[in-house]
Structure 1
Amino acid sequence: MVTTGDCRWLTENEVDTNPPLCSLAVTTLGWTYHYSNKAMDWAQARQFCQENYTDMVVIQSQRENDHLVSLLPNRISSPYYWIGITKNHKNETWRWIGNNSTWIGNQSWAEDEPNNNYSNEFCVEIYVNKGKNRGKWNDEKCSNPKYAVCYKSQCTESSCVRGTCHETVENTTCLCEPGFKGDRCQTAQCTESSCVRGTCHETIENTTCLCEPGFKGDRCQTAVQCPHPSDPLNGVYSCREGNQTFNSTCQLKCHLFVLVIGSSAITCGATGVWSGPRPTCTSSDGCVWMWSCLSLLLHLSLLDEAQKKKETYPSKAARRSDESIQ
């Protein structure tokens, strides 16, 4: 701990010519406590705290209560300080300013307190004098003069990169957003769902996915896609379910009387290119065009048929020639 500011208590005969500020021992990471050198009513005390620090002190636990009392100096003539718990009506619940908490320790109040002795004791003072009431609370009229106890927040906009800053007596803590970690929530955190088909790498304020071959996208969620293959002469590609993504296959189907030359299947590769040499559709006798092959086959068939008729039925000229010879 270190002490900030030049503080000393004024004697009864001295005039306070310095600003009414003084700082307590502070922790290195958490909030700091401060107090006034002048007594003032509760509303003025809160205004003093808000103008010079963050707000009037808000006690969140018995541990903090005891810690605060151990730091506050004992003012012999008036050992009382305003704290930030109040209410507006006798039937209301005591609430802390700022966070609206209703925390009150089992032994926070002094003996026989709060008693609302004047029916309008709606503010609370804390005793720092020695004895059994040290650190105890008492309800008091808000118009009575007491010293202010303030705190200064150490949380800033830059305290937590991707989280919410929370302060305690001894440090600040960052409550990180989902997917982030680190003392300042500065590191993105990989989870099982960070990368669909890849490996997650943590970086400052982000995560990066190293995708498996054949996948892309910021989460490796999209399979690489190949363009639809161009149909060759005398054939058509058929792709299963119309899918042309990584590792999918397309089958070449040739027209009637035409054969597939090469492997009939092609596979979509990791880079979006179809694998291997493309198959072709070709007839066994070298014909490429199906209809030309059919025409040739028909022509050959007709020639063969004519030859058979010629051999079976000789021409009239040939028969007359044979008859004249006889």
Structure 2
Amino acid sequence: QAGAWMYSYSEQKDYTWEQARNYCQTYFTDLVAIQNKKEIEYLNEWLPFHPRYYWIGIRKLNSTWTWVGTRKALTKEAENWAEKEPNNKRSNQDCVEIYIKRQREPGKWNDEPCSKRKRALCYEASCQPLPCSQRGECMETIGNYSCECRPGFHGRDCENGEGPTQPLRERCSRGTPALLGSPLGLDRRPREGDAGSRRKGVSWQPWAADSTEGLWSDETCSPIAVVACPVLSAPDWGELSCAHLHGNFSFGSTCTFSCHTGFVLTGTTSRECTATGDWSGEPPRCEATRCPTLVAPAMGYAACSHLHSNFSFGSTCTFSCHTGFVLTGTTSRECTATGDWSGEPPQCEAIKCPTLVAPAMGYVACSHLHSNFSFGSTCTFSCHTGFVLTGTMSRECTATGDWSGEPPQCEAISCPVLDAPSSGHMSCSHFHGNFTYNSTCAFSCEAGFLRMGAEALRCAATGNWSRRPPVC
């Protein structure tokens, strides 16, 4: 910042040239207008290096490099191009960047395609909306401003003096009207019945004895019939600012157009009332700044409402997800004045269920549609040899985040209960449960008795004992 004139730049992201200007006009005054070498040196020293460099307020309009803030053509004396620039490579380089802290040619300019993204270099003017007492042109300087006063006025803000026509106007008397409309503001003095004597917006001005020389006579005064143009109005979503040299919307009047925040001007930015009673240029329009088209997230929906046109400034889009999915991120996004959407793109993620494990003495086999153990996942269960499944054989992850069915179990297959033989003894060992798969029983007889049959039996996976029980 230097005095009342503040520089700023976009730190968070890069913009196309149009987006950069919209950013500057939204938060400051406009893209910076370089006025002298001192300003270039200041910017090159103050700004940080950025590999894509910075946009400034010059653009090619009707094949002429123009300061967009003032609509003035770039003069040869003011040019600051880098070597062999502008080169208009590929015939689409209509905007200008400034090299900041570049090793070669720092502070110089280069033409670039307007669609490239760079930092926006903005300024906030120290000139006020009605500067220099409306009697001169306000000229920005670093940390200050100066007024170039029109003839007859002086002072820091042109507050002193009178215009060159004021003393004459006081001495004028009624005479023959002259038509205002030459490049100097005066035409010939018309004769009686001359078509130039139509009277629109008559005002007293001194008559020029020789309009080709632009000389004013302080001896003779005549009323001037000023050529009028149709009254202009601001475009929708825009503003109109007019300056009138002779009368409202008359010859010499100029009107400049601008747009509300979030809108960009298409067409002529400035129009002038000509000697024919017509305005130069075509009526401009303010069109809403466009944002990229949004689409619904995978497995989700997008519902958008548009204030002006599809996916433009003021458009809002809300997002939701299919059954079984939950939204992560921004639920609603709005198209901003910079041509970007607020927030980050949302996603629809499948609802998670608790991780499943195989039952004891069993197996689990799962398939996942979206992600592990999430909505749509299915798991089937089975048991080891010698065990049988009780409960749900297959379970599915539902939209509520719960599994269908109940957890299954694998239970050991049972064999018939055995008893000790008469006049004998039995000793059993059980791995999983009494008289179940892999249980073993050993047999013996009391003294004086002989065992007839197997010494030991094992419970098989079929639910039968390996041999017939022995007798004593």
* TM-score relative to the length of structure 2: 0.31
Structure with more relative contact order (C-alpha pairs < 8 Å, separation 6 or more): 1
Q: Which has the higher Rg, Structure 1 or Structure 2?
A: 1
